[in-house]
Chain A
Amino acid sequence: MNDMRIVERDLDSTDIKIAARDVQVYYGENHAIKDVSVDILHKTVTAFIGPSGCGKSTFLRCINRMNDTIDVARMEGKIEIDGTDIYDRTVDPVQLRAKVGMVFQKPNPFPKSIYDNVAYGPKIHGLSKSKAELDEIVEKALRRGAIWDEVKDRLDAPGTGLSGGQQQRLCIARAVATEPEVLLMDEPCSALDPIATAQVEELIDELRENYSVVIVTHSMQQAARVSQRTAFFHLGNLVEYGETGQIFTNPEDPRTESYITGRIG
């Protein structure tokens, strides 16, 4: 398998799903994100790459307002999803997070059964009217998470008892169970072995049919493998954003070139 193979994928859509304008994020005195403006397309996998501490995760967490939970974080600018400013006073972050799912760096299943892990989101959002309907949602989500076959016989087993890769796919299933429109993934494969990584990457490619996926990754190969568009962050700035093929083969900015050739970062 050629790790650096750059898929010649056609963009399925050119609809803008998320539009960020002049986003600034401060952690106390620290200016973590500077003037980031980016348009993320619908039904597209967008990769954020860049050296550690460049702000890519911080920016990702802005998209579903997870930074609200950090007291010292302060955000300026505008992020619109389908034309609605998500930082508007009238937007409820809880509803937003149902629409914008998130998968974290470390697999973090609830210390509950596999079934309850997936059913929790639909339950609190009232997506099912009956037990049968909930069962259906859980099965569908686990199938989408490509883990159904492995766990269908032990849905009552604790989610924390699965292997790392299975746990991460369970977390993805949990995230898609609430039928989000955008799926944010913060280095979803950093704790996984190559086989589990391959499974998750395959899954990301399938998810593209329904969702707009934004993935933060440290691995440039991964970005090249799974994404259609790539954004390169450096020191809190969005340096370059474009089609993945173009970023990796013909970057415009010298900093991008240095990074992908391994000279910085």
Chain B
Amino acid sequence: MTDAASHTSLTAQSDLVKRRNAAEKRFRAYGLTAIMIGLAMLVFLVVTIVGSGWNAFFQTRITVQVELVQDEIDAAEAGFLKTAAYRGIISANLREQLTALGLGTDVSDDDIEGLISRRAPAALRDFVRDNPDRIGDTVEFDFLAQSFIDGYFKNRVTRDIAERSRNVSVAQLDLIDQMRDAGLASKAFNLDFITGNDASESSPEAAGYGPAILGSLAMMIVVAVLAISIGVAASIFLEEFAPQNRLTDLIEVNISNLAAVPSIVFGILGLAVFINYLGPLSGTDWLKNNSAFVGGLVLSLMTLPTIIIATRASLKAVPQSIRDAALGVGASKMQTVFHHVLPLAAPGILTGSIIGLAQALGESAPLLLVGLVLAQGAAAPETVSDFFGGPNTAMPAQIYQWSTRADPAFYERAWGGIIILLIFLVTMNTLAVILRRRFERRW
């Protein structure tokens, strides 16, 4: 036996070694496969999102020279349906322009009118009201094209569809092709998609994420202030000051459990406690249905466990020897924590908090329950009180809302919203990584 052992060859593998090596190879292959599948999914996801949402950032606009005639404007302002009259002005000017170019002579007035967005008359009226001195001039406007025309530019609407549709005619598509060649219609980047207000279901071309982004911002401010301060304070107390006993163990288990509670439960809680109970009791606007403040409170509840767990982990990672050193020179417990432990734990706390915030930013379920979905036409808030307390919406809720609307143009804009949201999330996570790298101190 000892003879055999001492003369084993180093080059020939025994069965045991062969099996062991094969197992290791298999394990590596599994790991590699898992990562490949994950990467493929990620690529698929990004390609789908960008492919479906990219067009939402661009909008077709039609150039119209409008002659601002005092009489026509006076007549329009005197009418009962003022914007309808302005609509007439725009189509008349467009028709005139097209005729001059020899285009669209066989297209009906309704079809010409239908090329331009329903929002265009309001834009013209706003311009006239803001610039009364321009009356009498001929001003060039780039009006939004109606969403089906825009869809044609983005290959969403085809002639087949137009033949069967009541909303768009083949004649319109022929005309817009000619206008494109004449340089009167083109697709361009549309900042209003990011900053503009939501629009009615009939004019998706004008809808933007402005109020939703502001609403999300308001909620993030509430979450940042409440969840981070309460979360960090609670963790410091639990980790550094609280005695280790049954009660603190129980609290610890419960915090871990809270992190696993579905977010919609927090929504129900917010509805019951903040809106139905505390709202009438306090009588403030901030604790009402639709308010960003309530949304922020609900998201704070949801984010707290994440922040507490991350903070406690980073406090735990600070070596005991640093605490001993500080206590040893006669620092009080609080001085020890605030002068030495907290600065060392700060990068971890910051990272945890930002990841918590990012999680809150992408959450929609609890917001639906506290009413952070405006049916339509949400406008950006004007005062601080409106910002937190007024009717509001949030990015994920707005995306959800648009994805349920019938017009496929809204569907495209929902994908576009996902791109905006993802950019925010990626930015926040990158920030977390950079902060971590930057402030991490070695000891």
Contacts and interface: CB of A to CB of B under 8 A. Distances in A.
Interface in B291-342: 319, 321-332, 335, 339-340
A66 interface: yes
Nearest to A95: B330
A26 interface: no
Interface of A: 64, 66, 69, 71, 94-99, 101-104, 106, 108-111, 120-121, 124-125, 160, 171, 174-175, 177-178
A71 B243 contact: yes
Given A111-B442, A160-B443, A94 B332 contact: yes
B329 A111 contact: no
Contacts of B327: 66, 69, 97
Given A104-B324, A108-B321, A178 B443 contact: no
Contacts of B244: 71
Contacts of A103: 328
B331 A94 contact: yes
Given A71-B244, A108-B321, A110-B322, A97 B443 contact: no
Contacts of A121: 329-331
B330 A108 contact: no
Interface of B: 243-244, 319, 321-332, 335, 339-340, 344, 441-443
Given A71-B244, A108-B322, A64 B442 contact: no
Contacts of B328: 64, 66, 97, 101-104, 175
Contacts of A106: 321
The 10 residue pairs across chains A and B that have the minimum distance between CB atoms: A98-B330, A121-B329, A108-B321, A102-B328, A97-B330, A108-B325, A111-B443, A94-B332, A111-B441, A71-B244
A170 to B, nearest CB: 11
Contact of A120 (B321, B329, B332, B344): B329
B340 A66 contact: no
B440 to A, nearest CB: 11
A168 to B, nearest CB: 12
Contacts of B340: 110
Contacts of B319: 108
12 contacts: A64-B328, A94-B331, A94-B332, A102-B324, A102-B328, A103-B328, A108-B322, A111-B322, A120-B329, A174-B329, A175-B328, A175-B329
Contacts of A124: 329-331, 335, 339
B330 A178 contact: yes
Contacts of B443: 111, 160
Given A98-B329, A101-B329, A111-B442, A120 B324 contact: no
A104 B330 contact: no
A66 to B, nearest CB: 7
Most buried by B among A64, A101, A111, A174: A111
Contacts of B442: 111, 160
A66 B326 CA distance: 11
A174 B209 CA distance: 58
Nearest to B335: A124
Nearest to B325: A108
A46 B441 CA distance: 37
Contacts of A110: 322, 325-326, 340
A125 B330 contact: yes
A71 B322 CA distance: 18
Given A71-B243, A160-B442, A160-B443, A108 B324 contact: yes
A162 B138 CA distance: 78
A71 B249 CA distance: 14
Contacts of B321: 104, 106, 108
Contacts of A102: 324, 328
A178 B325 CA distance: 13
Contacts of B243: 71
A174 B322 CA distance: 13
B324 A111 contact: no
B323 A94 contact: no
Contacts of A111: 322, 344, 441-443
B325 A104 contact: yes
A160 B340 CA distance: 14
B321 to A, nearest CB: 4
Nearest to B443: A111
Given A71-B244, A94-B332, A111-B344, A120 B322 contact: no
A15 B143 CA distance: 98
B284 to A, nearest CB: 43
A42 B443 CA distance: 35
A94 B330 contact: yes
A199 to B, nearest CB: 20
Contacts of B332: 94
A69 B323 contact: yes
Contacts of A171: 325
Given A94-B331, A104-B328, 6 more contacts: A69-B323, A97-B330, A99-B330, A101-B328, A120-B331, A160-B443
Contacts of B326: 110, 120
A101 B441 CA distance: 26
Contacts of B322: 108, 110-111
Contacts of A178: 329-330
A124 B340 CA distance: 13
A164 B442 CA distance: 15
Contacts of A175: 328-329
A17 B244 CA distance: 35
A94 B328 CA distance: 9
Contacts of A104: 321, 324-325, 328
Indicate the member of B243, B329, B331, B340 with the most A CB atoms within 10 Å. B329
Contacts of B325: 104, 108-110, 171, 174
A95 B330 CA distance: 6
A104 B442 CA distance: 19
A228 to B, nearest CB: 24
A131 to B, nearest CB: 19
A233 to B, nearest CB: 21
Nearest to B331: A124
Most B C-beta atoms less than 10 A away, residue of A95, A101, A102: A102
B330 A66 contact: no
